[in-house]
A and B are shown apart, each in its own frame.
Chain A
Amino acid sequence: MQVTLASALRGYTQNREHVPASGATVDELLRSLDQSFPGIRFRIVDEQERIRVHIRIFVNRELAGLGSAVREGDDVRILCALSGG
């Protein structure tokens, strides 16, 4: 399936917004992404297996956690908080 990445993560994907990944859960999806783009998972998930505080993952527009199920064709988006100014 295709995963949509926030711009802050696209340094790992040669600036590609949509990248392929596979897995039955969000966690597996992120591990799959890390295989293709080494280092990207640690930017999203900390060493205690928590999604980082300024990141949200949505599956079909619903807020998801690492254990959330995903299926082929789902719309998966990894987004970063907006801040500053």
Chain B
Amino acid sequence: MGRMPRRPLPRKSLPRRRRAEGPRVALLVATRKGAFFYFANAARTRWRLEGPHFLGQIVNHVALDPRDGRTLLAAVRPGQLGPTIYRSADLGATWQEAKQPPAFARAREGERALAVSHTFHLTPGHSSEPGVWYAAVSPPALFRSADGGVTWAGVEGWNQHPMRFQWCPPEDQTPDGSIMHSVIVDPRDPSHLYVGCSGGGSFESLDRGDSWRPLNEGVEVDFGPERYPEFGQDPHCMALHPLRPDRLYQQNHCGIYRLDRPATRWQRVGRNMPPEIGDIGFGVVLHPRDPDTAWVFPMDGTSVWPRTSIGGQPALYRTRDAGASWLRQDRGLPREHAWYTVKRQAFCADSGDPVGIYFGTTSGELWMSPNEGRSFRQIAAHLPHVYAVTAVTPR
């Protein structure tokens, strides 16, 4: 008996696949040896690599200006030379070096003579202030540009604050140096800023950086003489929800926290994580439209702090109730022997529907979930050590 010819199923009976909606996504991947940009097709199923940029140089962060959708800034430091910032007005086709990169003022007699080691994080300013950018550097300090990143000046309210060296001692050398890593501009008010510093804590300014106050109430310190000091905490990453700007999340050396302003006391929502996993990690990623949904990527924080995926089995944890409960998400990720670290800036989300989740690893892999963490697939392998992954929507 011959084979029956196969007829195509009627089109209407095919299961409908939910397609990503919204503009096309690009990933700006910063690594220890250069930057690599991945541009997605509309369905986020194929990725076109563009790069490398700055091959061989340390790139800590690349950021897109959402106000024009075209301008990129890159924080670059060759191994032996001084740090700088490059600017591109054409999505990386060409780059120009900053004329005046972030640099401290010349120390006067008796002052500490600080030099910028590297820019760690770049944040575009408020939507009402085109051309304004902030740069967070190591040792922990804040710089501002008002001309799109061409010239930079210190935010002296922080850099010259009389408490600054008590808040964030520049000699504190965590494995990659003491850093300011988070700069958040309140989308309702350009004068309202938050910063986060490793080995220092979280701080708030209500006057565009002229004055600052610690914002660490309720955040634990399990490595110092005092359990709940005014400052000296170790936030690893801080994020504010764009649609509910009174809500902040923080992944700290000592747990996962949430803060709903105007309250000033952080709540340790990481206590609701499975005890065998704990609530140690580097990054925290927020759902772009749901302030109750967030993701963390737990790391091994036991004994000497290996900072690797727990048990060699990487997994994300997602909350949909602002940290009251957490769900493990690891479908498609390695089941064993994956001893990588996901650093604080190497974990992000896009604005698609469903949301895409992305992370890069210290072993040079780039992963994505097209469906809010329900499954994962690898976009790239064999990259250098990944420092940052930023999902953007260029115009």
CB-CB under 8 A from A20, the residues of chain B are: none
- Interface footprint category on B: 10 to 19
Which residue on B lies nearest to A49, using beta carbons? B106
Given A39-B84, A42-B101, A47-B106: A54 and B79 interface contact (C-beta under 8 Å): yes
- Interface footprint category on A: 20 to 34
A44 B79 Cβ-Cβ under 8 A? no
Stretch at the interface among B112-120, B213-221, B255-263, B292-300: B112-120
Complex: how many Å from CA A28 to CA B44?
A: 54
| Number of cross-chain contacts by CB at 8 Å | 55
Given A38-B99, A39-B99, A50-B115: A44 and B106 interface contact (C-beta under 8 Å): no
A39 B81 Cβ-Cβ under 8 A? no
Complex: how many Å from CA A44 to CA B79?
A: 12
B82 A8 Cβ-Cβ under 8 A? no
Q: A43 interface residue, CB < 8 Å from B?
A: yes
Interface string of A64-85 (1 = CB under 8 A from B): 0000000000000000110110
A42 B99 Cβ-Cβ under 8 A? no
Complex: how many Å from CA A80 to CA B101?
A: 21
Complex: how many Å from CA A42 to CA B103?
A: 9
**Residues on A close to B: CB < 8 A?**
6, 8-9, 38-39, 42-50, 52, 54-55, 80-81, 83-84
Chain A to chain B contacts (Cβ below 8 Å), 21 pairs? A8-B80, A9-B81, A38-B97, A38-B99, A39-B84, A42-B84, A42-B101, A42-B103, A44-B81, A44-B82, A47-B103, A47-B116, A48-B104, A48-B106, A48-B114, A50-B113, A50-B115, A52-B81, A54-B81, A80-B81, A83-B80
